């Protein structure tokens, strides 16, 4: 009989220990997991601080705070949150170049097994005073020495009069002019490029100073494209060492338009 009693006592202790282990777990919560910034202009940057709280009974470990894209940043002030404690995530969202309804999630990965990926959300409506069309000015050079020119239209969406006062490119290599369009609160902005560029793609930016009451500066993204004289794809062919049947592979050679090209020998 004493043996049976001791065995029963051990089973009860084991059950209590297992139950306690199951209860001791972290739990992630956020009182305001979705932040609605309302309606903002595309020139603004939205900032908000999310408060994460551990409502569980074990330490909550934040493994990663990952925004959905590069326009959003998220900085966590600490990775380990004891039970009952909280941590702050400072989020920033750039609205530059965006219009209409916007939703940007931030995924929080933690050791909360019941909710390992917790999602925060920043949302709102982005309005714009100006439209730049196309959104990126592309300058394509037919050769490294060739000149190139391209234009975009900068227009006031609210039909407000404005003037472009000065312009400057980030590289300093673009010659920029602007011409007011008749009967419209809009300008045609044209850039010319005469410098030599090696084959490849290069980013640049044009900053326009204006007399608009709320948008003193406008930025135009620029992409310079210089195609290679002849491109080969793929550059390497891998053939199997052993095969019982014929095999074939294809190489594509591309050359710039308005030029001649012949294969003399293989």
Model confidence band, residue 6 (pLDDT cutoffs 50, 70, 90): low
Residues 232, 127: Cα–Cα separation, whole Å: 44
Residue 60 has pLDDT above 90, yes or no: yes
**Is domain 27-127 classified as CATH 2.60.40.10?**
yes
3-class SS string, 221-250: EEEEEECCCCEEECCCCCCCCCCCCCCCCC
Residue with tokens 């053939």: 239
Residue-level pLDDT at 256: 65
Residue 125 has pLDDT above 50, yes or no: yes
What share of the chain has pLDDT > 90, as a percent? Answer: 52
Q: What is the pLDDT of residue 1?
A: 46
For the segment 221-238, the average pLDDT, to the nearest whole number, is 84
- Res 67 pLDDT > 60: yes
Q: Reply yes or no on whether the pLDDT at 121 is more than 60.
A: yes
| Chain position carrying tokens 């312009």 | 167
pLDDT digits (tens, 9 = 90+) for 253-263: 877 666 677 88
Domain covering 130-226: architecture: Sandwich (2.60)
Q: CATH 2.60.40.10 spans which residues of the chain? A: 27-127, 130-226
pLDDT at 9: 61
pLDDT in tens, 155-195: 988 888 899 999 999 999 999 999 999 878 999 999 999 99
- Out of 20-24, 130-134, 163-167, the most confident range is 163-167
Question: Across residues 44-72, what is the average pLDDT?
Answer: 92
Query: What is the pLDDT averaged over residues 98-127?
Result: 91
Q: What does the pLDDT read at residue 12?
A: 62
């Amino acid at each position: 009989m004493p043996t049976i009693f001791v065995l029963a006592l051990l089973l009860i202790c084991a059950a209590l220990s297992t139950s306690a282990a199951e209860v001791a777990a972290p739990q992630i919560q956020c009182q305001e997991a979705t932040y609605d910034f309302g309606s903002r202009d595309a020139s603004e940057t939205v900032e908000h601080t999310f408060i994460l709280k551990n409502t569980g009974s074990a330490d909550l470990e934040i493994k990663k705070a990952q925004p959905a894209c590069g326009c959003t940043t998220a900085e966590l002030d600490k990775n380990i949150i004891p039970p009952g404690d909280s941590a702050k995530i400072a989020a920033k969202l750039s609205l530059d170049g965006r219009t209409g309804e916007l939703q940007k999630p931030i995924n929080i990965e933690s050791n909360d097994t019941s909710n390992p990926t917790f999602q925060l959300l920043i949302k709102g409506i982005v309005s714009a005073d100006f439209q730049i069309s196309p959104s990126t000015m592309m300058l394509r050079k037919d050769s490294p020495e060739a000149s190139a020119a391209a234009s975009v239209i900068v227009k006031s969406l609210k039909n407000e009069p404005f003037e472009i006062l000065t312009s400057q490119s980030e590289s300093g290599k673009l010659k920029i002019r602007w011409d007011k369009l008749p009967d419209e609160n809009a300008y045609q902005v044209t850039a010319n490029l005469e410098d030599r560029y090696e084959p490849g793609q290069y980013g640049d930016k044009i900053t326009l100073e204006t007399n608009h009451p709320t948008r003193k500066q406008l930025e135009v993204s620029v992409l310079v494209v210089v195609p290679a004289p002849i491109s080969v794809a793929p550059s390497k062919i891998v053939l199997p060492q052993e095969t019982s049947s014929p095999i074939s592979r294809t190489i594509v050679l591309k050359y710039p338009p308005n030029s001649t090209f012949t294969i003399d020998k293989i």
